[in-house]
């Protein structure tokens, strides 16, 4: 599947990228990238990037794929989020989009964010989740290795299944090299500044929305839920 997918990705359009560099935190307690004495003043080094990919094949044509990574963000995590299309018509208005989230780090988990009707006679919906957090479900029965532990084990056993193949690397470099040359060239864009500990540059929400993904306001939904004492209360 991957072998057929990567060559089907169209060349990256420079209008489909958003880059940033972290600055000092809003409270001033965390330094910005340029505050490091070893960094060249006015450096255009990129510490955040969001890239929208367009895949040209029968399976993924028209499905937006957004890659996002950065340093000094509000959260440190690795996950895949599949956001489903909104319902065009229905009895519930302004319902949030359902999402399937596959989290790799920290604490592997799979959960489905979905709309449920609020109990009672009111015609209102709320967001809840079907949750499979591996450490909660299996920690008493199995040892759950960290991500790199599994890869080291694969290396020792000469198992290549979780590593990139040579042909995949060749195609990936041919895809991203022109973008890197543009970003590092004399006409490359200036990265947008974002505060240390934030979600990213100010234009991120508009960027992902323009490419088909909509952020849910954090005051409307947060996972996992927590009590005022900080106890995980996501199971309900």
Number of other residues whose CB lies within 10 A of the CB of residue 51:
19
Confidence band for 220, pLDDT divided at 50, 70 and 90: low
Decide if 151 is inside a domain.
yes
Residue 96 CA to residue 183 CA, distance in Å, equals 35
Q: Does residue 217 sit within a domain? A: no
Q: What are the pLDDT digits (tens) for 182-217?
A: 999 888 899 999 999 999 999 999 999 999 898 876
Q: Is residue 70 part of a domain?
A: yes
| pLDDT at site 85 | 86
CATH code, domain with 22: 3.30.360.10
pLDDT of residue 94: 72
Residue 32: how many CA atoms within 13 Å on its side-chain side?
22
Number of domains the chain is built from = 1
Q: Residues 66-81: pLDDT tens digits?
A: 999 999 999 999 999 9
**Confidence bin at 122 (pLDDT 50/70/90):** confident
Confidence of residue 145 (pLDDT cuts 50, 70, 90): confident
106 lies in some domain: yes
Q: Could you list the residue range(s) of the whole structural domain that residue 171 is in?
A: 2-210
Q: What are phi and psi of 96, to 5 degrees?
A: -70, 160
Among the residue ranges 30-34, 110-114, 124-128, 151-155, the one predicted with the least confidence is 124-128
Residue 144 maps to a domain: yes
Q: What's the mean pLDDT when you consider all of the chain?
A: 86
- Check: pTM over 0.95? Answer yes or no: no
pLDDT band of 17, cuts 50, 70, 90: very high
pLDDT for 162 equals 86
Residue 148: predicted pLDDT: 85
Q: Cα(184)–Cα(178) distance, rounded to whole angstroms?
A: 10
In a domain? residue 229: no
What are the strands, taking DSSP E only, across 84-191?
A: 99-105, 109-117, 125-133
**DSSP symbol at 166:** H
């Amino acid at each position: 599947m991957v072998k057929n997918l990567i060559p089907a990705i169209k060349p990256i359009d420079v209008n489909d990228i958003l880059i940033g560099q972290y600055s000092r935190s809003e409270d001033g307690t965390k330094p910005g990238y340029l505050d490091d004495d070893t960094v060249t003043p006015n450096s255009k080094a990129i510490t955040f990037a969001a890239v929208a990919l367009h895949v040209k094949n029968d399976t993924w044509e028209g499905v937006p794929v957004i890659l996002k990574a950065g340093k000094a963000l509000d959260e440190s995590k690795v996950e895949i989020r599949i956001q489903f299309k909104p319902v065009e018509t229905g009895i519930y208005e302004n319902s949030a989009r359902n999402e399937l989230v596959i989290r790799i780090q920290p604490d592997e988990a799979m959960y489905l964010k979905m709309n449920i009707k609020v109990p009672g006679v009111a015609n209102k919906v709320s967001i809840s989740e079907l949750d499979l957090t591996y450490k909660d479900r299996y920690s008493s029965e199995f040892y759950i290795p960290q991500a790199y532990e599994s890869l080291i084990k694969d290396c020792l056993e000469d198992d290549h299944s979780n590593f990139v193949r040579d042909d995949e690397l060749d195609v990936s470099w041919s895809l991203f090299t022109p973008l890197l040359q543009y970003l590092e060239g004399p006409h490359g864009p200036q990265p947008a500044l974002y505060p240390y500990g934030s979600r990213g540059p100010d234009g991120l929400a508009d960027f992902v929305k323009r490419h088909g993904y909509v952020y849910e306001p954090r005051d409307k939904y947060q996972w996992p839920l927590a009590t005022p004492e900080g106890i995980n209360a996501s199971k309900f």
